[in-house]
Structures are given as structure tokens and as C-alpha cells.
Amino acid sequence: MSCTAKKDPNGTWHIQYRWTDWTGTKKKSQKRGFKTKKEAEEWYAHFMTQQAADPTMTFEDFWEVYKLDMEKRLRKTTMKQKEYIVKDKLLPYFGKTPINEISAPMIRKWQGELLQKGFKPTYLKTINNQLSCMFNYAVNFYDLRSNPCHKAGSMGKSKADERPFWTPEEFQKFSDAIIDKHDAWIGFQILFWTGIRLGELLALRVSDIDFEKGTLIVDESYTRLDGEDLITPPKNESSIRVITIHKELQDGIKEYIETLYRPHPSTRLFAGRTKRFFEHEMERGCELAGVKKITPHCARHSQASLLYACGFESLEIARRLGHAKVTTTIETYCHPSMDAQERIADKLGEVDRRNSNGMREKSKEEA
């Protein structure tokens, strides 16, 4: 490991350096634009601290090393979410502390401060998981003795409270209220009757609809990140699927495609529309229709609950929704309706009455 600081003709300094990264690979590079030689040398010392497999590095230095590795392995959207949590919730509290000095009591205190801020339990769980994930990485690759999050315990919870959903009657009222905007209307028809995710809806192309077979292909997802439109693979392998669509929905989609300007197979059905557009239209429609307010994602819950009420098996519902695990479908999306609950109560009442009558008849016989 060596470095050489030199002054440039414009008066600034640059530094040339060699180092061996944590994988054992020897590298050579340089960095320019320092005001003084001391600043250049201090930067180099800071850089080498980051590269060393040394748990005495500060949390913010460790984050830079961790980020550099994760950027090569994670999707852009996933990395962006991770970066936001670290910069907003972790660095302000742990940034200047060496990672081997971050203790369980320190983490408990940090958790307590977050708990008082009123964040959703699932978000608190996500934040805590991110910190624990980084410490696991430090244990595996940077000789940190143990993960202090394990001693501190977790916070929040993995599963959200039961989310609201619409019955077909409620959806019909909402649908009638937004019929004045054709793209919003057909978009919500697709969301409600197929259960696809909003990102999957926004990525749909003309070629994804097969009117002969009556199917819709889901193999991409759309998001807007830092002002850039990104089309990526969907959430997981199970999310790549073919969904059957009924005749009325097929007709609605076909009519909508005919209104697009010179549509090609690769034309996105909702090009120019964003997540915020559908969120706004849902807010508008709920108010106009007088139905309970839900989010676009809750249309997915509505589809699952409808299929559940129709008697379909959890595995069938999971495949339609693109879930990797059936347990996700059961625990998160399959909300038994009140009708179903009433049927359960009626059935239990029948059993109770039958049992009671049987006991009374037996008592008479014994008497």
C-alpha cells in the first residue's frame, strides 16, 4: 500500500495510490481536486481505513464499503430504498461511531427514539432489519465479533395490520365515479380483476395481452427513480406469470388500446402515467363514490379476498398473485368476508343445536 501526492499546474493536488482490496485484488488509482497536500493525504488515510478488514472503522466508513459491494448485487430500486434508510435513519445516529463500539444498549436507545416518532410497525421492522443486515455483513467479512442487534432485540413487526379491501359492489360504485377518465378507469379494472401490482400494471405492453387466449402476461415492473423511468423484472421469479382475464375485461382493454395513438406491440398501455396518478385517481374516486378509502395496492387484497370468498384454494390464489410462498397469500391477503364469518357462525350453530338436542334426547332415554 503506497501513495504519492503531487501538485497540478492549476494549483490543486492529486494523489496516486495502490492498495489491495478485501478480496485480495491489487489495484491502482488516483483522485484529483484537493486544495492542499494535507487534504489529499487525509483522504487517502480515510480511504485505506475503509478498505481495511478492520472493525474499528466508523459506521459511515463501513457504509461506503458495504454500499460499493451491494450496488453490484442488488436491483437499483432495492439499493435506493436501502440507501435512503441508511442515510436518514442510521448514519445520523451511528455514523461517527466505530462499528466495534456500537453496543446493544446503544441500539436499544436508538430504537426507543424511533418508537416515539410514530412510524408504522412494519417500517420500524424494516429499519431494524437493515441495521442488523449490515452488522451481519461486518461479522462475515470484517472480523466483527458479533452482531449487537441480536442482543438488542428487534422492534416493530413483520406483518401489517389487516388492510381494507373492497367488495365487488363497492368497486362498482368507485368504477362508475371515475368513468370520465378512460385510462384511470381501465387501469383500475385491471388492478381489481387480476390482482397485479401497480408497478406491473404500469409496465404492461400491448403485446402482453393475448385476446385469443384471454390472457395477460406479467413479466416486467415499472418504477420512476431519480427522474428516470425504469422497467425491471418483477418482484421475484414467481411474479412472472400468465393471468386469465374474463371476456368483459378483455373487451374493455381492447377498446382502450384502440384509443391509443398508433399503438405497436411494444407500446406501454399507461405510458406517461405514474404511481401518483393512480393514487390521486383513487382518492378522487373514493370521495365521489362515498366508499371507504383504500390504496391502489389494496385492490390486490380485494382480488385475493374475492377469490377466497369464491372458494378457490390458497395455492391457486398465490399463483395468480405471483407469490413465492402460499403462506404470504393466506396470512396477508386472504381476508374472510363477513358473509363467510356469518356462514361459519351458522354452521357452528347447527352443530351446537344438533349436539344439544342429542344430549337432551339421551337424558330423556336415561330418565
Residues 132 and 210 in one domain: no
Please give the pLDDT value at position 170.
94
Please give the pLDDT value at position 67.
92
**CA–CA separation, 96 and 133 (whole Å):** 19
Residues 242 and 132 in one domain: no
Question: What CATH number is given to the structural domain containing 263?
Answer: 1.10.443.10
Residues 138 and 15 in one domain: yes
Instruction: Count other C-beta atoms under 10 Å from residue 282's C-beta.
Output: 22
Beta-ladder partners of 205: 268
pTM recorded for the entire structure? 0.67
Burial of 10 (0-12, 13-18, 19+ CB in 10 A): exposed
Q: Is residue 157 part of a domain?
A: no
Measure CA 29 to chain center: 37
Compute the chain's Rg from CA coordinates: 28
Q: Which of 292, 270, 276, 302 is nearest to 187 (CA)?
A: 270
Q: Is residue 360 part of a domain?
A: no
Question: What CATH number is given to the structural domain containing 107?
Answer: 1.10.150.130
How many structural domains does the chain have? 2
What is the residue range of 115's domain? Answer: 2-152
Q: Is residue 365 part of a domain?
A: no
Please give the pLDDT value at position 49.
61
Residues 197 and 124 in one domain: no
Amino acid at 281: E
Residues 148 and 185 in one domain: no
Instruction: Count other C-beta atoms under 10 Å from residue 157's C-beta.
Output: 12
**CA–CA separation, 77 and 70 (whole Å):** 12
Please give the pLDDT value at position 360.
59
Residues 323 and 279 in one domain: yes
Q: What is the DSSP letter of 162?
A: P
Residues 206 and 137 in one domain: no
Burial of 212 (0-12, 13-18, 19+ CB in 10 A): exposed
Residues 144 and 182 in one domain: no
Please give the pLDDT value at position 215.
93
Please give the pLDDT value at position 135.
95
Please give the pLDDT value at position 160.
61
**CA–CA separation, 70 and 105 (whole Å):** 28
Residues 185 and 91 in one domain: no
- Averaged over successive runs of 10 residues, the pLDDT of the chain (367 residues) comes to 82 85 73 88 73 77 89 86 94 95 96 93 93 92 89 84 82 95 97 94 97 94 85 84 92 96 95 94 96 91 84 84 68 53 63 65 62
Residues 249 and 138 in one domain: no
